[in-house]
Copies of this chain bind each other. A is one copy, B any other.
Amino acid sequence: MSEPIQLSDITWESFNAMDVGAKGRYLARNNREYHVLVAQQFTRNRLEELGALATAIRRISKQEEGMTFLRSLLANHRAMLYFSQPSSRTFLSFCAACEILGLNIGEVRDTSTSSEFKGETQEDSVRTFSSYFDLIIMRSQMGGLAERMAWLLSNTERPVPMINAGSGKDQHPTQALLDVYTLQRSFEKRGSIDGKTIVFVGDLARGRTVRSLAWLLTNYRDVKMIFVAPPELQIGDDILALLKGAGVSFELMSEFDRAIPLADAIYMTRIQDEWDAPGEKRKIDISRFCFTCDKLPMLKSDAVIMHPFPRRQEISVEVDADPRAVYWRQMRNGMWIRTALIAAIFGKEHQINDFFARQGG
């Protein structure tokens, strides 16, 4: 069998022009993830495997012996966290994930302290990181930058894997992974994600998390999606076309209360006004798209409420106490699935699963 194709086998122009769904097959190496760039690179089967790996890690970590085992796995490696766009949540989640695996960390979080100051290109900066580190985790305000840099890294003498930790408006694949993992865990006792109704609420036009998650859910059978938003912020036609093409059943609504009783999961989002064009000042009444305590009785007893954070007023703090509010657990799931992903990239999946099996997991 020949080694599958890699990112070094294609020109940047060809890769860049490719449909997102087709990019995935250039991102693997040795039959596992190498670069993690787009949510669409994960098949259903792989989503299940990574979820199982995250759960194995989570359970192993409950005992000192297990933590010590995990911490030994990548203690001889170094990861670079390059966050030129502010995000303490994603940063800390990756930081904790690296620490669980013993990975040593280097970081650049504030571009004003970096040597880009001296007029260096982004390409040279990223190649610098790859000179000192074995993995680059990158967050940027520029759409497509992580892809470009991953392609570049794959075409050097010292390729290192790249994880996209959020690039502009388009991709944040590990957020999509943690969302799917949260759904997997939430529906564990009710079969699987198949056949469930997911209600997306809020700023669906711009939120990349909703777009990625909707895409990934087309991997599952008989999922129904309901999109609840003011007309100006409804989900894009491109996603709807994709869902149609995949035969997914969906509905658009503007009245939140009508959707709540139908939901197995409600995915709340916030207004993404940091992407507003300068001067653009949206005056949308979003109060009708907030989850307040009075809505709890409308919700099925086994449904869940999710949110990618940060939240503003979309979910009242009082809702946190309801057991169906799983968004804090969802956040912690992010740490576990990122740990799983990094472990997988470095080929530690079998070793972890073996340890878990021996423990009687």
- Chain A interface (Cβ < 8 Å from any Cβ of B): 64, 67-68, 71, 75-76, 78, 80, 83, 86-89, 92-93, 95-96, 99, 104, 106, 108-110, 112-120, 123-125, 127-129, 131-133, 156-158, 270, 274, 309-312, 317, 328, 331-332, 335
Contact = CB atoms under 8 A, between A and B. Distances in A.
B71 A309 contact: no
A317 B75 contact: no
Which among A75, A131, A309 has the highest number of chain B CB atoms within 10 Å? A131
Contacts of A89: 115, 128
Given A131-B331, A132-B335, 14 more contacts: A67-B76, A78-B99, A80-B92, A86-B117, A88-B114, A93-B132, A110-B113, A115-B309, A118-B310, A127-B328, A128-B309, A157-B328, A158-B328, A158-B332
A119 B156 contact: no
A244 to B, nearest CB: 33
Each complex incorporates copies of this chain amounting to 3
Given A115-B310, A331-B131, A92 B76 contact: no
Contacts of A87: 115
A286 to B, nearest CB: 13
Nearest to A88: B114
A110 to B, nearest CB: 5
A86 B106 contact: no
Contacts of A133: 92, 96
Contacts of A132: 92-93, 95-96, 332, 335
Contact of A124 (B112, B131, B310): B310
**Which 4 pairs of residues, A with B, have the shortest CB-CB distance?**
A67-B76, A120-B310, A99-B104, A96-B132
Main secondary structure of the interface of A (DSSP, over half): helix
A116 B310 CA distance: 8
A127 B327 CA distance: 11
A185 to B, nearest CB: 15
A87 B120 CA distance: 12
Contacts of A119: 310, 312
Contacts of A156: 328
Contacts of A114: 86, 88
A331 B156 CA distance: 14
Contacts of A118: 270, 274, 310
Given A86-B114, A328-B156, A332-B132, A124 B92 contact: no
12 contacts: A86-B112, A86-B117, A88-B113, A92-B132, A96-B106, A96-B133, A109-B113, A110-B110, A110-B113, A124-B311, A128-B309, A131-B328
Nearest to A112: B86
Contact of A115 (B75, B86, B117, B125): B86
A361 B233 CA distance: 64
Nearest to A332: B131
A11 B115 CA distance: 36
A67 to B, nearest CB: 4
Nearest to A111: B88
A291 B212 CA distance: 44
